[in-house]
């Protein structure tokens, strides 16, 4: 029985959630995870400051090309495999079931690290904004706990409600960044220079750090396939949304980072970015368009972070659901809300966020890092580790695409989609992963190796090894369950029919 056939033959009220998402909705989910304003104000300024290289705009275009090649095989496989645990299912069916379970736990950990880590920057940003505008000192973890509650509510509601909320927020983010770009090119204190787009400005010592920072800006684009079971037409929706998101993200960030270099002035850029950080964008808008515009941009910076939190929360919840449905994790994780959302997975992710945030809040009490504590620890540590895990997974998925079509002796869309593109993607992503490992201390803002340099990668690697061992144990203990690993609704349907 094919996956496509089984998906439609199952009782939709029991086995499939309501299919509400179109290309625009899934694209918005992806771009929301990328958080455009957050990347510009936080990521791009940090990259300029830390690396001292002007070629950051070109790096976004280069990485966009790499990920577009990866997306060719990824999209081809999405037409054959529709599963809420996308990476998990792809690796299980393309390489092996143990590798799939290992990949699933790496994905779970990576998405959780990304999601919970963003709370650190969110808490700092909101508490700083409240302090500046109202003179009230609010501990960073208070707005975080309030945000966790709101994200939890959205997580158990209709998925298209999340998409609509994120769509509105992302549209406003784009508007602010476009205004910033236009003003930057208009001001151009040193003229509009094409130097930031020159290969000579990128391919010099330090390029590895630039690419390591840059890849994090794209994290979330690969999540399209996670929504395959909730898409109106997954065979067309997922590939189109993936390609659209990669193209928009690469071009938008490339142009916006170029605008930052031009608007600030290449000769002053590194110094100002180092001193002001995210405030570079807001102070620039305040100086040229007034305080009101700057305040609106800062508020949208908060909503940008919120949008990313919702998007990553949804991804985690769907991984939990997928693994619970196939009994790789406890069966109760399969529970859905009356809206079809993965209720149990959403609640577990919420619980993880509360526990981790509480731990960092206690650990940071009285820290010498002061107000920046949640940014320099919770945000920096967890999001960089999460990005490392996702890049590793994408390299593995590229290999699984080749294996999937080779096993079936079918070249979906030709050799380019089934073999050539995923092979190139696997090599390119493996190189990027190596660059992240080599520059990990730089990404963490450390001048030397510390225990954190080893603990964070271990949070990614150890669960993967544990997943492989767990799958091998399942093969001995429960062969039937093992057979269903990575086959989503097909496996779930077979299981239910067997019970009947």
User: What residue ranges do the domains of the chain occupy?
Assistant: 17-499
Higher pLDDT residue, 170 or 20?
Answer: 170
CA distance 188 to 447: 34
**Other CB atoms within 10 A of residue 365 CB:** 10
pLDDT recorded at residue 158: 64
DSSP at 201: G
Residues 286-313, mean pLDDT to the nearest whole number: 89
pLDDT recorded at residue 3: 34
pLDDT band per the 50, 70, 90 thresholds, residue 367? confident
pLDDT recorded at residue 24: 80
Range scoring the smallest mean pLDDT among 144-153, 402-411, 448-457: 402-411
CA distance 466 to 469: 5
Task: Check if the beta carbon of residue 493 is closer than 8 Å to that of residue 14.
Answer: no
pLDDT recorded at residue 496: 39
pLDDT band per the 50, 70, 90 thresholds, residue 330? very high
Residues 85-109, mean pLDDT to the nearest whole number: 89
Lookup: tokens for 109: 């950990």
Per-residue exposure over 174-210, b if at least 16 CB sit within 10 Å of its own CB, e if not: bebbebbbebbeeebeeeebeebbeeebbeeebbbbb
CA distance 441 to 5: 48
Residues 409-432, mean pLDDT to the nearest whole number: 85
Task: Check if the beta carbon of residue 49 is closer than 8 Å to that of residue 236.
Answer: no
Q: Which residues contact 186 (CB under 8 A, 6 or more apart)?
A: none
pLDDT tens across 6-60, in order?
333 333 333 444 566 778 877 877 777 677 888 898 889 989 988 899 999 999 9
CA 402, chain centre distance (Å): 24
pLDDT recorded at residue 163: 65
CA distance 408 to 94: 10
Asked if pLDDT for residue 362 goes beyond 90, the answer is: yes
| Alpha helical stretches, state H, 35-96 | 36-38, 45-51, 56-78, 86-94
Residues 345-365, mean pLDDT to the nearest whole number: 95
Residues 238-244, mean pLDDT to the nearest whole number: 84
pLDDT recorded at residue 278: 82
pLDDT band per the 50, 70, 90 thresholds, residue 156? confident
pLDDT recorded at residue 13: 36
Handedness of CA 25, 235, 33, 153 (dihedral sign): positive
Higher pLDDT residue, 160 or 107?
Answer: 107
pLDDT band per the 50, 70, 90 thresholds, residue 413? low
Asked if pLDDT for residue 435 goes beyond 50, the answer is: yes
Q: Which residues contact 394 (CB under 8 A, 6 or more apart)?
A: 67, 70, 222, 425, 429
Range scoring the smallest mean pLDDT among 17-26, 175-184, 211-220, 435-444: 17-26
CA distance 225 to 95: 18
Task: Check if the beta carbon of residue 277 is closer than 8 Å to that of residue 379.
Answer: no
Asked if pLDDT for residue 5 goes beyond 60, the answer is: no
Cα-flanking dihedrals φ and ψ of residue 265, to 5°?
100, 115
Lookup: tokens for 436: 């992240």
| Alpha helical stretches, state H, 375-478 | 380-408, 415, 421-438, 440-443, 452-477
% the chain with pLDDT above 90: 46
Per-residue exposure over 458-486, b if at least 16 CB sit within 10 Å of its own CB, e if not: ebbeebbeebbebbeebeeeeeeebebbb
Lookup: tokens for 99: 């590798």
In whole angstroms, how far apart are CA 458 and each of 54, 353, 462, 466? 33, 19, 5, 12
Lookup: tokens for 181: 């770009």
Higher pLDDT residue, 112 or 19?
Answer: 112
Lookup: tokens for 247: 């193209």
Mean pLDDT of the chain, nearest integer: 85
Residues 340-345, mean pLDDT to the nearest whole number: 86
Residues 237-244, mean pLDDT to the nearest whole number: 84
pLDDT tens across 371-400, in order?
889 988 999 899 989 989 989 999 999 999
pLDDT recorded at residue 83: 63
Task: Check if the beta carbon of residue 444 is closer than 8 Å to that of residue 381.
Answer: yes
Residues 239-243, mean pLDDT to the nearest whole number: 84
CA distance 384 to 206: 18
pLDDT recorded at residue 360: 96
% the chain with pLDDT above 70: 88
pLDDT band per the 50, 70, 90 thresholds, residue 119? very high
Lookup: tokens for 390: 């996702």
CA distance 108 to 188: 44
CA 126, chain centre distance (Å): 22
Higher pLDDT residue, 413 or 68?
Answer: 68
**Other CB atoms within 10 A of residue 9 CB:** 13
pLDDT recorded at residue 132: 84
Angle between helices 279-289 and 234-264 (to 10 degrees): 70
Q: Does domain 17-499 have CATH number 1.10.10.10?
A: no
96: left (phi over 0), alpha (psi -120 to 50) or beta: beta
pLDDT band per the 50, 70, 90 thresholds, residue 457? very high
pLDDT recorded at residue 84: 57
Give the H/E segment covering residue 409.
Answer: none
Residue 411, burial from CB neighbour count under 10 angstroms (0-12, 13-18, 19+): middle
Residue 18, burial from CB neighbour count under 10 angstroms (0-12, 13-18, 19+): middle
Cα-flanking dihedrals φ and ψ of residue 364, to 5°?
-90, -5
In whole angstroms, how far apart are CA 187 and each of 79, 269, 286, 288, 289? 47, 14, 14, 9, 12
pLDDT recorded at residue 263: 96
CA distance 294 to 282: 5
Strand partners, 260: none
In 3-state terms the chain splits into helix, strand, coil percentages (rounded to 5) of: 80, 0, 20
Range scoring the smallest mean pLDDT among 4-13, 216-225, 245-254, 421-430: 4-13
């Amino acid at each position: 029985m094919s996956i496509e056939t089984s998906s439609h033959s199952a009782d939709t009220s029991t086995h499939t959630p309501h299919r509400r998402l179109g290309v625009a909705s899934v694209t918005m989910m992806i771009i929301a995870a990328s958080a455009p304003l957050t990347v510009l104000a936080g990521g791009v300024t940090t990259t300029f400051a830390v690396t001292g290289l002007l070629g950051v705009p070109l790096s976004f275009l280069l990485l966009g090309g790499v990920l577009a090649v990866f997306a060719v095989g990824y999209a081809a496989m999405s037409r054959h495999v529709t599963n809420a645990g996308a990476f998990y299912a792809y690796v299980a069916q393309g390489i092996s079931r143990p590798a799939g379970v290992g990949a699933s736990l790496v994905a779970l950990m990576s998405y959780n690290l990304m999601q919970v880590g963003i709370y650190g920057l969110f808490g700092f940003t909101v508490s700083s904004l409240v302090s500046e505008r109202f003179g009230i000192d609010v501990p960073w973890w208070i707005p975080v706990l309030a945000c966790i509650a709101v994200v939890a509510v959205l997580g158990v509601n209709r998925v298209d409600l999340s998409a609509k909320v994120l769509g509105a927020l992302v549209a406003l983010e784009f508007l602010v960044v476009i205004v910033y770009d236009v003003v930057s090119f208009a001001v151009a204190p040193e003229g509009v220079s094409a130097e930031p787009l020159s290969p000579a400005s990128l391919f010099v010592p330090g390029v590895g750090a630039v690419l390591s920072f840059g890849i994090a800006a794209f994290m979330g684009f690969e999540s399209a396939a996670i929504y395959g079971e909730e898409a109106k037409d997954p065979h067309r929706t997922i590939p189109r949304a993936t390609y659209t998101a990669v193209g928009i993200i690469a071009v938008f960030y490339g142009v916006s980072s170029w605008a930052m270099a031009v608007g600030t002035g290449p000769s002053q850029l590194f110094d100002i970015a180092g001193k002001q950080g995210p405030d570079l964008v807001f102070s620039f808008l305040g100086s040229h368009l007034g305080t009101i515009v700057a305040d609106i941009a800062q508020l949208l910076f908060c909503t940008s972070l919120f949008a990313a939190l919702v998007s990553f929360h949804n991804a985690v919840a769907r991984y939990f659901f997928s693994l619970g449905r196939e009994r790789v994790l406890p069966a109760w994780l399969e529970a859905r809300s009356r809206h079809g959302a993965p209720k149990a997975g959403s609640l577990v992710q919420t619980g993880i966020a509360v526990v981790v945030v509480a731990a960092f809040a206690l650990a940071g009490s009285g820290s010498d890092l002061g107000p920046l504590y949640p940014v320099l620890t919770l945000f920096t540590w967890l999001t960089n580790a999460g990005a490392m895990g996702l890049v590793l997974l994408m390299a593995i998925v590229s290999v699984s695409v080749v294996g999937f079509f080779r096993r079936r002796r079918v070249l979906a869309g030709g050799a380019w989609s089934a073999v050539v593109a995923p092979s190139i993607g696997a090599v390119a992503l493996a190189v990027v992963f190596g660059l992240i490992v080599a520059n990990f201390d730089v990404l963490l803002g450390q001048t030397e190796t510390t225990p954190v340099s080893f603990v964070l990668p271990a949070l990614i690697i150890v669960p993967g090894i544990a997943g492989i061992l767990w799958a091998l144990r399942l093969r001995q203990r429960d062969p039937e369950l093992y057979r269903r690993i990575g086959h989503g609704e097909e496996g779930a349907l077979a299981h239910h029919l067997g019970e009947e």
